[in-house]
Chain A
């Protein structure tokens, strides 16, 4: 993400999402009340996480087809930032659950699924930590990345939909499904999602550039020492 206009768009969208998210009118629903504003901050985290992990998996595939250092770095850094989004998603969800369900961890299928999805990516980093050979580490972790992403799909997209859940938007609960997400909320929600995803890509690309420069420095120092 080198171009300036994407960064400007990202900042504008996020400022709009924060101001609009906290100040604009929202529908009154029982129990949920004002916490419905979590929609602008909690839900985009999951959109962002899936987008970032998806990108990471795409670069893992690219690495397997064309093994070079760059693809590996892209894959790792997108997974890293996806992790942060996932953790923030869980945290914001716990804050929300504390006010609406009465306790931060409620054992809801969606909560458990999200926690397991994060465990998968923790395992990914453990795998990376335990292989010393750089090329082998990149190859094995790329394979696991793809495998993990595919295994994550039923976990967060299929199984939670098959069980009744207190989470808004599933089962018969009042929530942010198509009947309740009125046009006022859409006006803030979609910009918020776009903004958060852009922010994730921005952080990831910054880290990638940093890594690549570090690698260059290390290489030139190696050459000097010979």
Chain B
């Protein structure tokens, strides 16, 4: 199975150079700590709404940094090698899945750090975790394609940010809305239709990435 082999390769690479995950974790920690310091003496200012905004901004930036490196940081020539031995859709799916795991790890760590430094206003934890899983998948599906796209264009990092913000905003808006429900402790059934919309957006973005990636990958 080339798919499994590719996924194994991603995981093996990651475990071998732990510096990348450590770097991302540090990035997350710094952002959380900055949020904490900015409000240091006025903990009362962190209302649930502010928490909501800070949390999702942190997660968004971390996700962009996490996924951006999936194609942008690669060694020159690696894409040509992969191109010659693997199917583009296999490459994409393995990257999306791997990025999904990484994003989910970052999101959960982010939630943990936020409860540690700021506070934990979330009442409906179950729905919130489902939400984190769905958004992690949405981010990784959308951003992996854009990472591949901006790696082919030259000035990658700025382009990545410019291209990705507008595209992930619809996912982000839904996430913020559902988080608001979780904070207010509304019954989980209130959020179901919104979670479904999020799932539909994910499916849409995933399907389009799947269809378009072979065209980007071809050189």
Interface residues in chain A, defined as those with a beta carbon under 8 Å from any beta carbon in chain B: 64, 116-117, 119-120, 123, 126-127, 130-132, 136, 139-140, 142-144, 146-148, 150-151, 153-155, 158-159, 162-163
Contact = CB atoms under 8 A, between A and B. Distances in A.
Contacts of A154: 170, 197, 200-201, 204
Contacts of A148: 166-167
B167 A162 contact: no
Given A120-B167, A132-B154, A139 B216 contact: yes
Interface stretch (B21-29, B49-57, B75-83, B155-163): B155-163
Contact of A162 (B149, B197, B209): B197
Nearest to B169: A116
Contacts of B177: 163
B194 A143 contact: no
B212 A147 contact: yes
Contacts of A162: 194, 197
Contacts of B142: 151
Interface of B: 142, 145-146, 149, 152-155, 159, 162-163, 165-167, 169-170, 173-174, 177, 194, 197, 200-201, 204-205, 208-209, 212, 215-216, 218
Contacts of A158: 197
Nearest to B194: A162
A140 B153 contact: yes
Contacts of A163: 177
Given A132-B154, A144-B149, A159-B174, A151 B166 contact: yes
22 contacts: A64-B212, A119-B165, A123-B162, A127-B153, A127-B163, A130-B153, A131-B153, A139-B216, A140-B216, A143-B215, A144-B146, A144-B149, A144-B163, A147-B209, A147-B212, A150-B205, A151-B166, A151-B167, A153-B204, A154-B200, A158-B197, A162-B197
